[in-house]
Structure 1
Amino acid sequence: MKGLYCKAGVSDAETKFIIQETTLPEVLDSHQVRVQVKACGLSAVDLKLLDDLGIQRDFIPVGREVAGVVLQVGPNVAFFQPEDEVVGILPLDSPCSGLCDTIDVDEHYIVQKPEKLSSVCVAGALRDALCAYTALHTHAHMAAGHTLLVLDGASSFGLMCIQLACYHGVKVFTTSHSQQQHTFLEQLRPSVARVIPVYKDPSDLLPLVLEETGGLGVDIVIDSGARLQENEEGDEMKLLPHKHDIISVLGVGGHWVTSHQGLQLDPPDCRLLYLKSASVTFLNPEVWTASSAQQGRYLHILKDIVEKMSTGVLRPQPEEAVPLYEATVTMETVQRNQKKKAVIQL
């Protein structure tokens, strides 16, 4: 049995992905489930996070968002039986690559998959849906009547945020990074109250949001990155809002949920947050699998996500499945941030 593994280099350019032979133990642990993988989602490997958590290996398993069918269960497994369809995210310290034909996983990391939900669809969208759920419910405490600004709403993560917020009665504004994205997001109206084309003029963001909210600002901002300096280079960086603009569009008591790991706030920024009594929280997509402190809550979130996908509340953008023989090249593209994610069909 073969799996995909990451061999870390000194720099990102030296990081390699290789196919290696692997074996599973003959006997399952008491709470483990043996799953035949049908589809696996690929996301960039955060080597710095693994190092911070003390997870150091010569070869790091790749592919953690999996969907498949249960083949065998351990003696103390309570929630699954053979032939059950399941989906979940493997923990950071999992010895198994999700691209193996068969994997062993603890029953507390997977949930039942509804029959009508495609394995490819759920494996490709589960991580972004979990991030959206964490940002809106756990961090921002979203409620009906709130106003929300989703930056880069056409991304997979942004789209999940928009759909989840609209379902809960939140008024949503979003930004587009190209004419094609703008056309796509305009089709979501009236669910989306306003689409702001920042690719035309990034400085339009602040006045247009304040115009839409009567000068009060929004209750929640969810970003996909932010500029720390006004003159940061790169076409993609120019489309990101400056940190001061994000704080400026926040209303009193607002919440800014950021994906920017290295965010630094200057004293004037902190002063403005203080005056608004607003807060900044960091969205770490691995927080649920890095700690078992709220395992029950995490499983509840996963169950709610797959249920909302199966009923059409959450409708991920279709992700074209990549065959297994292209996994290595595809993963290298994802790791270099040339592609946000990919799905491998086994």
Structure 2
Amino acid sequence: MLLAGLGIRTGLVTPPPCRLQPLPALAETRHRLLTSWPGLAPPLALNQERGLSPAPTPSSLGPPALARQIRCPRAWGGRLETRFYPQGLRFCGKSHHAGSWGANARPVTYPAQQRALLQLTMKGLYCQQNSTGEEITFIFKERENLPITRDYDVKIQVKACALSWTDIKLLSEMKIKKEYLPVGREIAGVVLEVGSKVSFFQPDDEVVGILPLDSEESGLCEIALVHEHYLVHKPEKVCWVEAAGTIRDGLRAYTALHYLSHVSPGKTVLVMDGASPFGTIAIQLAQHRRAKVISTTCSLEDKQYLERLRPPVARVIDISNGKTDVAESCLEETGGLGVDIVIDAGVKLYSKEYESSLKQQLLPHKHDIITLLGVGGHWVTTEKNLQLDPPDSHCLFLKGATVSFLNDEVWNLSNVQQGKYLCILEDIMEKLSNSIFRPQLDEPVPLYEAKVSVEIVQKNQARKRQVIQF
């Protein structure tokens, strides 16, 4: 039979008769429809006879502002596509059995009073800091209405969003204080609408980018508004998950190797923790620039992963047992000359009695890194609290070596570097399209499990890049 007014063919379950519901019940139905379909009662069967506006044709409605497919229960045998038009909400049912739009399916348009209740409601993931300022909690927060698309804004339907660690301290230092901080900044999606002065994009373009540090938008939301200067086109052959999962690590690798250390053919690069998502991209970028790469690992599984990489890593140093001397191994590999570039994953600042975790015990000491640096070498560090004593500085002076701090957020803190920033993002997508970059990604996670994944990332317990797929 046909599901009343929707054209969904079913042969298993006969839905109960639909009745016109009062406005409070309609609002509740709207909320349940747009948030959790499996628990929803059959939709309303509204028609002209019940006093509603006549059903318009698709041509009179114009292009839909948003199209969503909502899965129906298996027993109903189909799915619904919900399209939001300026004039109202339109349901179209499609039967899996028939393979075409139901013969009796037609648009349903609600009058103005009821359309107000059927405004698009979306949920985004945000983090909230507790009163002590130490722990943060992640919550889904409803967004009733999107802000108006401004002149240079691009409205995106998010298809994938990668997760990265939220640096609450950095946000505080940048004077970014909000009750709810948006989560998820590396996004990929389809352009739905562009502002009047947008020149680089048009509707239906596939884009990828990183939301700025002070963005009001959560990437873990179906719709996001982004300034066009934070986006680039996504190549057709690159999937959504890979695009979102590579953009941040690619930016960090470019910043470290091209702008802080000037990698070139023949140089020797040491990448600490090379099996991490960032380490993997850094190794592949250094190899593409025909540099010799040495890497460290913290487990047997990571060592096996690096040994399978092609082209192969020159040497893999396993420091999981805590007995291997990284400096000695690097000097042995380079014939005593030392390495030209070091990209660390953190360093040991104090003696053993101050080490609080096994991970800190496996980190190299700052003296070891200074020892293995060659003449004119570059040390790119992620340790924001690095302290160098006068003997350390004197040793670096004798070698003519430099120390640089890797903070990829600097690209969006000033518009002066905007052109270089966009060139980097475009080059990352090109290398991903050509399989030069092969990211270390975990299995995609659905949106309803995003909160658990974000908590894992915030605790630094994820070894692969976590990506939410919509």
Task: After TM superposition, give the deviation of residue 330 of structure 1 in Å.
Answer: 1.7
Distance in 1 of aligned mates of 2:335 and 2:417: 39
The worse-fitting range, judged by mean Cα deviation, of 191-200 and 221-230 is 191-200
Q: CA RMSD in A?
A: 1.5
Contact 1:37–1:100 (Cα < 8 Å) also in 2: yes
The worse-fitting range, judged by mean Cα deviation, of 191-200 and 88-97 is 191-200
CA offsets 1:162-206 (integer angstroms, 9 cap, x no match):
000000110111111111111111122653111111113444211
Matches within 5 A, 1:1-346: 1-10=122-131, 14-25=135-146, 27-188=148-309, 191-231=312-352, 232-339=355-462, 341-346=465-470
Task: After TM superposition, give the deviation of residue 125 of structure 1 in Å.
Answer: 2.0
TM-score (norm 1): 0.96
The aligned length equals 346
CA offsets 1:197-238 (integer angstroms, 9 cap, x no match):
111344421111111111110100000101012312421112
Identify if the C-alpha distance between structure 1 residues 12 and 195 changes in structure 2 by more than 3 Å, giving closer, same or farther. farther
Identify if the C-alpha distance between structure 1 residues 190 and 91 changes in structure 2 by more than 3 Å, giving closer, same or farther. closer
Identify if the C-alpha distance between structure 1 residues 114 and 12 changes in structure 2 by more than 3 Å, giving closer, same or farther. farther
Task: After TM superposition, give the deviation of residue 25 of structure 1 in Å.
Answer: 4.3
Task: After TM superposition, give the deviation of residue 266 of structure 1 in Å.
Answer: 1.3
* 1:199 partner SS: coil
CA offsets 1:81-124 (integer angstroms, 9 cap, x no match):
10000000001111110111111100000000001111111212
Identify if the C-alpha distance between structure 1 residues 11 and 250 changes in structure 2 by more than 3 Å, giving closer, same or farther. farther
* 1:16 partner SS: strand
Which letter does structure 1 place at the counterpart of 2:381? Answer: T
Identify if the C-alpha distance between structure 1 residues 11 and 164 changes in structure 2 by more than 3 Å, giving closer, same or farther. farther
Contact 1:218–1:249 (Cα < 8 Å) also in 2: yes
Distance in 2 of aligned mates of 1:10 and 1:209: 47
Distance in 2 of aligned mates of 1:121 and 1:306: 10
Distance in 2 of aligned mates of 1:189 and 1:77: 41
Which letter does structure 1 place at the counterpart of 2:429? Answer: V
Identify if the C-alpha distance between structure 1 residues 298 and 248 changes in structure 2 by more than 3 Å, giving closer, same or farther. same
Identify if the C-alpha distance between structure 1 residues 202 and 125 changes in structure 2 by more than 3 Å, giving closer, same or farther. farther
Which letter does structure 2 place at the counterpart of 1:172? Answer: V
* 1:286 partner SS: helix
Distance in 2 of aligned mates of 1:151 and 1:59: 34
The worse-fitting range, judged by mean Cα deviation, of 181-190 and 223-232 is 181-190
* 1:148 partner SS: strand
Task: After TM superposition, give the deviation of residue 13 of structure 1 in Å.
Answer: 5.6
* 2:416 partner SS: coil
Task: After TM superposition, give the deviation of residue 11 of structure 1 in Å.
Answer: 5.0
Which letter does structure 2 place at the counterpart of 1:116? Answer: K
Distance in 2 of aligned mates of 1:121 and 1:23: 30
Task: After TM superposition, give the deviation of residue 157 of structure 1 in Å.
Answer: 0.6
Distance in 2 of aligned mates of 1:122 and 1:11: 37
Identify if the C-alpha distance between structure 1 residues 78 and 229 changes in structure 2 by more than 3 Å, giving closer, same or farther. same
Which letter does structure 2 place at the counterpart of 1:252? Answer: V
Distance in 1 of aligned mates of 2:345 and 2:312: 21
Distance in 1 of aligned mates of 2:450 and 2:218: 12
Contact 2:153–2:227 (Cα < 8 Å) also in 1: yes
* 1:320 partner SS: coil
Contact 2:277–2:441 (Cα < 8 Å) also in 1: no
Unaligned runs of 5+ in 2: 1-121
Identify if the C-alpha distance between structure 1 residues 68 and 289 changes in structure 2 by more than 3 Å, giving closer, same or farther. same
Distance in 2 of aligned mates of 1:302 and 1:222: 21
The worse-fitting range, judged by mean Cα deviation, of 335-344 and 131-140 is 335-344
Identify if the C-alpha distance between structure 1 residues 237 and 168 changes in structure 2 by more than 3 Å, giving closer, same or farther. same
| Larger relative contact order (Cα-Cα within 8 Å, sequence gap ≥ 6) | 1
* 2:126 partner SS: strand
